Amino acid sequence: MATIFGLDYQTLWFLVIGGVFTGYAILDGFDLGAGALHLFFNKETSRRIALNAIGPVWDGNEVWLVIGGGALFAGFPGVYAAVFSAFYVPFMLFLTVLIFRAISIEFRSKEAMPWWRKMWDVCYCLSSATIAFLLGVVLGNLLLGIPIDDKGNFTGTLAYFLNPYSVMVGITTLALFMMHGAIYLVMKTEDRLYAKLTVMVRNTTIFFSISILLLSFYTLLYIPHLSNAIRNNSWMFFIPVAMVFAIANITRMVAKRQYRFAFVSSSITVSLLLIIVAVELYPNMVISTASPAYNLTVYNSASSEKSLGIMLLVAAIGVPLVIAYTTFVFWTFKGKVKLDEMSY
């Protein structure tokens, strides 16, 4: 079996996909969160500033989802096929909402009528919140396991997806993104909108802290397979500890008005949460509730080593480039938002 740094290709590609989805959660997380907060801003100018704060970057952020989907298709076709066909209806709804969100951002500014703008504001806010929630629900189902047979085909019903655990993961994801989005917006705004956002940062941080606490208790009490890895490898306990410190550091940095560091802390929180997900799932990617023998693992659903080798090379060349020009774009638009003739 071919390895790099002692890790086999399947595991490495699992890490690449984990990395891309973490990048997606950090980047699209803040603009989805900003969207979910949109209706809390009352004045037209505030809404425009909030929208233009994410204006130049949201499209680029969403690309990480496309890369993640492509990476999954390429590296683990079995998982891609099983998950996407199992979640048929939720994914179709997800796509519809994604389209509505994109068009509300694009179309809102094109007419000045108050009803037009209000309509797209509502559409933008609800779609952002729904996307965050649905992403969480999908993650929740993956953590819990879904009924799939020996051929990787889903055997459950639509109602299966909205189980209490997945709904809790959905709400926690929404809360996390709202906090992350509020911190991003506070970096981008001035004056009264800024003052209002500092309050929002506090409230959303409380909302997230409560959600994650309840979710953690629920997981530990009722879903034992999601703490196996950390229970068996006690050194891994540093991951949840680091996460708690990262959350605490958000409030500390907000109090010091060092919002850039607060944003880094909330990004670290997102990463650590997904690292916990990864270590608890690995080597499984989809857990079958029908029988552990039907689990889709990084080994039984991966592409050939030849194919994975090519893709690792593509990623090794491509990812640094993506990071370089993402940084360039964010650097170009750093600082507070100023509206001009080309703005939304």
Partner 1 sequence: MDVEILSRIQFAFTISFHYIYPPLSIGLGLVMVAMEGLYLKTGNKLYENMTKFYTKIFALIFGIGVATGIVMEFEFGTNWATYSKYVGDVFGSALAAEGIFAFALESGFLGVLLFGWNKVSPRVHFFSTVMVTLGSMFSAIWIVVANSWQQTPTGYKIEGEGLAARAVITDFWEMVFNPSSIQRVSHVWIGSFIAGAFLVLSISAYYILRKKHLPFARSSFKIALCVATVSSLLQLVAGHASADVVAEHQPAKLAALEGHFEKDKAADMYLLGYIDTKNKKTVGLNIPGGLSFLTHGDFKAPVKGLNNFRQQDQPQALNVVFQTYHLMISIGMFMIALTLFACWHWYKDSLFEKKWLMHVFMWSVFLPQLANQAGWFAAETGRQPWVVYGLLRTSDALSQAVKAEQVVFSLILFSVVYTLLFALFIYLLNKKIKHGPSHPEEDIDHSPQLKSMANELGYTK
Cα torsion 146, 147, 152, 157: sign: negative
C-beta of 114 vs 151, nearer to partner 1 = 151
Q: Which is nearer to partner 1, 53 or 253 (CB)?
A: 53
Instruction: Out of 26, 50, 53, 65, name the contact with partner 1 by CB under 8 A.
Output: 65
The interface with partner 1 within residues 161-190 (CB under 8 A) comprises none
State both tokens at 26.
């950090």
CB of 231 vs partner 1, minimal distance in Å: 33
264 belongs to the binding site for partner 1 (CB under 8 A) = no
- With contacts defined by CB under 8 A, name the span among 125-133, 137-145, 153-161, 212-220 that binds partner 1: 153-161
Cα(339)–Cα(344) distance, integer angstroms = 8
- Contacts (Cβ under 8 Å, ≥6 apart) of 275: 18, 22, 239
Give, as ranges, the residues between 76 and 105 that touch partner 1 (CB under 8 A). 76-78, 80-89, 91-93, 95-96, 98-100, 102-103, 105
Are 37 and 176 in contact by the 8 Å Cβ rule? The answer is no
In the complex, least distance from residue 218 CB atom to partner 1, rounded to whole angstroms = 29
- Please tell me whether residue 26 binds partner 1 under the rule CB under 8 A: no
Check if the beta carbon of residue 140 is closer than 8 Å to that of residue 113: no
Q: Which of 131, 136, 117 shows the shortest CA–CA distance to 39? A: 117
Token representation of residue 211 = 């959600």
Q: How far is the CB of 147 from partner 1 (least distance, A)?
A: 10
Measured from the CB of residue 75, what is the shortest distance to partner 1 in angstroms? Answer: 7
Dist CA 39 CA 122 (whole Å) = 7
Largest CA distance in the chain: 63
Nearest distance from residue 156's CB to partner 1, in Å?
Answer: 9
Residue 42 or 304 with smaller CB distance to partner 1: 304
Q: Which stretch binds partner 1 (CB under 8 A): 38-46, 148-156, 190-198, 279-287?
A: 148-156
Site residues for partner 1, window 286-315 (CB under 8 A)? Answer: 303-304, 306-307, 310-311, 314-315
Q: What minimum distance in Å lies between the beta carbon of 76 and partner 1?
A: 8
Contact between 63 and partner 1 per CB under 8 A: yes
Q: DSSP assignment, residue 292?
A: G
104 or 211: whose CB is closer to partner 1? 104
Residues from 319 through 338 that contact partner 1 (CB under 8 A)? 319, 321-322, 325-326, 328-329, 332-333
Q: Based on CB atoms, which residue is closest to partner 1, 221 or 341?
A: 341
Burial zone of 156 (CB within 10 Å; 0-12 exposed, 13-18 middle, 19+ buried): middle
| Interaction of residue 70 with partner 1, rule CB under 8 A | yes
Q: How far apart are CA 95 and CA 275, in angstroms?
A: 26
Range list of H helices, 189-304: 191-222, 228-232, 238-255, 259-281
Residues touching partner 1, count (CB under 8 A): 71
What would the DSSP string read from start to end of 317-341? HHHHHHHHHHHHHHHHT-SS----T
